[in-house]
Structure 1
Amino acid sequence: MYLATGDSFRSVAFGFRVGASTVAGIVHEVCAAIWTSLLADYMPRPDAVEWRKIAAEFSHLAFPNCLGAMDGKHVVIEAPPSTGSLYYNYKGTFSIVLLAVVDAKYRFRVVDIGAYGQGRNQRFESGGDIFKRGEQRLGAHCRPQPLVLPCVRTPWGFLQTPLSQAQNILGQCHVFLADEAFPLRRNIMRPYPGHNTGEKNVFNFRLSHVRRMVECAFGILASQWRVYRRVLGVSPEVAENIVKATCMLHNFLRWDGNTGLPGGASSEPSLGLQSAPRFGTNNATRDAVAVREKFAAYFMSPAGRVHWQDR
């Protein structure tokens, strides 16, 4: 009831004739139990077979070799005591951050929860800044090495695979799609900056067409679990458990057949990854720029063109 209605602990306590502190303890314990008991079944770390299935689902949305749409969501909380501006974000509220990778069926495949709305360096941070922070595990998960990507190893050490039905463009990596706040990496595609025409504009349109999946997933999450419609008057630790529980229930309601593991998925949890090193600046490497240019060229080729991309 607390997650679905967004009522306060005191309102829920009146409905069940118990104390508000009892409700607070129950919510904290049950949210933690939901995450722990369902994690292996409804948010396992995908293996190579499962990544191929995810990429195949995105190929129907006219973006081949896509492994997920990535974005961050600020979950508004009351300012924790004795934290100063640690959780203060650029929107003028206090929050923790849900950073997620979503598949083509609006399911959360990888999440990282609990980052500060603002970093210790006292500057406002976007989703890309949070992604680059060393303590964020999702940054490591979206690199080629930690992922078991459906690719082959080249003499240069990169994991690559050809685009389907693209005879003239080979050696293309699988990628995650993100917005302008994220860095351009070999396995992370962001739009071309500024006003563009031609193939750059088509690339941005095709990327935005697929990246909307993560925006829609956040919208579904906030609409179905109305606890996101209010300021969470709980500690950051409890807020993290609430976000974990709602993400897990979101997947539970959308899993195919609602029975067991997905085909080929590993039972290893998607969290618990090793800390990633700091990415440094947002300057893209030549390899990353080349990957984006190959995608842009592919979308303009007869093999990759779709009839609606010039609208």
Structure 2
Amino acid sequence: MKNFVLKFRILSNKRGVWVYDINKSKETHGEFHHLYAKLRRYPQKFVEYTRMSITSFDLLLLNVRHKITKETTGWRRPIAPEERLIICLRYLATGASFRSLAFTFRMGKSTIGGIVVEACRVIWNELQPTYMPSSTQPHLQDVINQFFIRWNFPNCFGAIDGKHCKINCPANTGSTYFNYKKHFSIVLQAIADADYKFIVIEVGGAGRQSDGGTFQYSTTYQLLESGNFNVPQDSYIPKTLIKVPNVLVGNEAYPLKSYLMRPYPRNNLTPEKTAFNYRLSRARRCVECAFGIFCAKWRILTKNMETNTENACDIIKASCLLHNFVRVLDGFNVVDFVNIRGGSTRSQSHIIRRNNNPTVAAKEIRQKFTDYFKDFPINNNG
């Protein structure tokens, strides 16, 4: 028995040295050290690798460097901020596991996980005030103008929808996070503008909730209900004497409110109601396309996040912010266009009907939009 234990310890020590030797060669064989400098000589390859231009990467690094730089100690040289940021972006871009990245970057799995989560938190804290600032009336008025110019939907300050993001089952939660797609998830609720950028996001809703249920538990709902969302005052629809509130647009899962328009039920549709549904769907497509672009660029949103819910929320928030960051700095590209033309990436089959009992005022507001769309039709190819 003693011989067996001794042999086991010897083998364990050899295995430890073997792993250590792999990581020890990080600066010669690690992915960052043999690829990063070369990629900077090929701008398009750099975009494919990091999902952003070299200029955008350098600006991002400039904003976060002071928070992710570690002090040199007598024991070892710290991981450079450039490498830390690259590791984070590769995780978000590919959805690769921490273990896979640990092998390619030649460092420990827990080190990779720590780098990713820390970088995501820093990205959110440092960039959020610029690339997803708190909504103000001037900002929302600009969104309203763009929705009318681009999508022919007046008085609209955003399109709202939700997306399920896969996670491991949190401990002691039962079926709370188990969704209709038969996997565990947390919900990302987002409001998008007319240019597919996110105005407001909330992350962390339990997967078992519908989009409408998530909305009614959200801070956004509370602010809208209390009149504290900074929505501009009611205004006339352009070229008319019809005065209506400024509204969000959502799908059938959302309640009909004075500040939130949803489609008419699909049964017994009149031509006027059909026209309203078309125009609303056209505007609402902005958030669906935002999710499509978002998930195509940051593939972690299509994979199972191997971390706790708190860290998963930080990862999702940083990804949303990077979505805006890249769209502002790098603009529009062919890949984005394909994703937009492809439409929604989400199943619309799971709609939970709720007894929302819309108010008379909400119905009257929807009717005013319906009358306007009847009098001011657009080409269906628009």
What range describes the TM-score normalised by the shorter chain of this pair? 0.7 to 0.9
Distance 1:68 1:300, change over 3 A: same
Deviating beyond 4 angstroms after TM superposition, the runs of 4 or more aligned structure 1 residues are none
Aligned mates of 1:175, 1:256 — CA distance in 2: 28
Q: Which structure exhibits the higher relative contact order, with contacts defined as CA atoms closer than 8 Å and separated by 6 or more residues?
A: 1
Question: What is the deviation of 1:132?
Answer: 1.2
Cα deviation, 1:62-117, whole Å, max 9, x if unaligned, reads 10100000000000111122221111112211000000000001000011101111
What 5-or-longer segments of structure 2 have no aligned partner? Answer: 1-89, 332-353
Aligned position for 1:128:
212
- Is the Cα contact below 8 Å between 1:144 and 1:187 reproduced in 2? no
Higher helix share: 2
**What residue is the counterpart of 1:155 in the other structure?**
none
Offset from partner CA, 1:259-281 (integer Å, 9 cap, x none) = xxxxxxxxxxxxxxxxxxxxx95
Post-superposition offset of 1:145: 1.0
* CA-based RMSD: 1.7
Mapped contact 1:142–1:176 kept (Cα < 8 A):
no
- Deviation at residue 166 of structure 1 after TM alignment: 1.0
Q: Give the Cα separation in 2 of the matches to 1:287 and 1:96.
A: 33
Tell me the matched-pair count: 269
Q: Distance between the aligned counterparts of 2:312 and 2:281, measured in 1?
A: 30
Q: TM-score, normalised by structure 2?
A: 0.68
Aligned 1:156-175 pairs, distance under 5 A: 160-167=234-241, 169=242, 171-175=243-247
Say which of 281, 305, 309 aligns to 2:377.
305
Q: Assess, with a 3 A threshold, how the Cα gap between structure 1 residues 256 and 150 changes in structure 2: closer, same or farther.
A: farther
Alignment identity in percent?
A: 42
- 1:285 to 2:376 alignment: no
TM-score by length of 1: 0.83
Distance 2:102 2:325 in 1: 27
Shift in Å, 1:257: 8.1
Answering whether residue 112 of structure 2 is matched by residue 112 of structure 1, we say no
Q: Which moved more, 1:109-118 or 1:173-182?
A: 109-118
The answer to whether the Cα contact below 8 Å between 1:4 and 1:225 also exists between their aligned partners in 2 is yes
Aligned to 1:71: 161
* Native 8 Å contact 2:177 2:185 kept in 1: yes
> Does 2:258 correspond to 1:186?
yes
The answer (yes or no) to whether the contact 2:165–2:302 under 8 Å persists in 1 is: no
C-alpha distance in 1 between matches for 2:330 and 2:294: 20
Matches within 5 A, 1:42-121: 42-60=131-149, 61-118=151-208
Q: What is the alpha-carbon distance in structure 2 between the residues aligned to residue 284 and residue 255 of structure 1?
A: 37
Deviations 1:171-203, CA, capped at 9 Å, x for gaps: 201000000000000000000012312110000
Sort the Cα spacing of 1:223 and 1:257 in 2 relative to 1 into closer, same or farther, 3 A.
closer
